[in-house]
């Protein structure tokens, strides 16, 4: 539920879970979409949970994305270079050049705080090539 206090936007995770802003992907990944395009900020903010033992091949051709790990461990493979980077709490990785990548959760469910630019509308699901559709 959107609550406005003066010019502030206040969101609570509990108000997102179980709504259309709580999206589950084919690998069981959960995207809890706290801020979306309708919020008018130019970016969207998500709390994403990647289940341990899963792997996702992603390629955001129309968005840039930053991810900050707050729990769990994993790795991200840069497909272009073949380099794998470890991810653990306190690690940030940014896909600023529409980088094709493979994300793996290896030790516990990995929790990421994610920012997308441009903002997602909210109902996007990954296409077969690992991207989201271009914004309207």
Across the range 79-105, mean pLDDT stands at 95
The CATH label, of 3.40.720.10, 3.40.50.2300, 3.40.50.1100, 2.60.120.10, for the domain at 3-117 is: 2.60.120.10
Q: Smallest Cα–Cα separation from 56: which of 135, 131, 134, 133?
A: 131
| pTM of this prediction exceeds 0.85 | yes
- What share of the chain has pLDDT > 70, as a percent? 88
Q: Could you tell me the CA-to-CA distances from 22 to 32, 53, 68, 86 in Å, in that order?
A: 5, 21, 19, 27
Residue 76: what pLDDT?
Answer: 98
Contact (Cβ atoms closer than 8 angstroms) between residue 46 and residue 118: no
All structural domains of the chain with their residue ranges = 3-117
Across the range 85-101, mean pLDDT stands at 95
């Amino acid at each position: 539920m959107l609550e406005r206090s003066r010019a502030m936007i206040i969101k609570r995770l509990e108000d997102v879970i179980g709504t259309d802003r709580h999206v589950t992907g084919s690998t069981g990944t959960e995207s809890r979409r706290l801020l979306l395009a309708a919020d008018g900020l130019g970016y969207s903010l998500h709390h994403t949970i990647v289940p341990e033992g899963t792997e996702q091949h992603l390629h955001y051709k129309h968005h840039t994305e930053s991810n900050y790990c707050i729990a769990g461990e994993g790795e991200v493979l840069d497909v272009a270079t073949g380099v794998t980077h470890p991810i653990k709490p306190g690690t940030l990785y940014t896909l600023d050049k529409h980088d094709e990548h493979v994300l793996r959760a290896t030790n516990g469910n990995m929790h990421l705080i994610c920012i997308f630019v441009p903002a997602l509308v909210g109902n996007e699901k990954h296409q077969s090539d690992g991207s989201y559709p271009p914004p309207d």
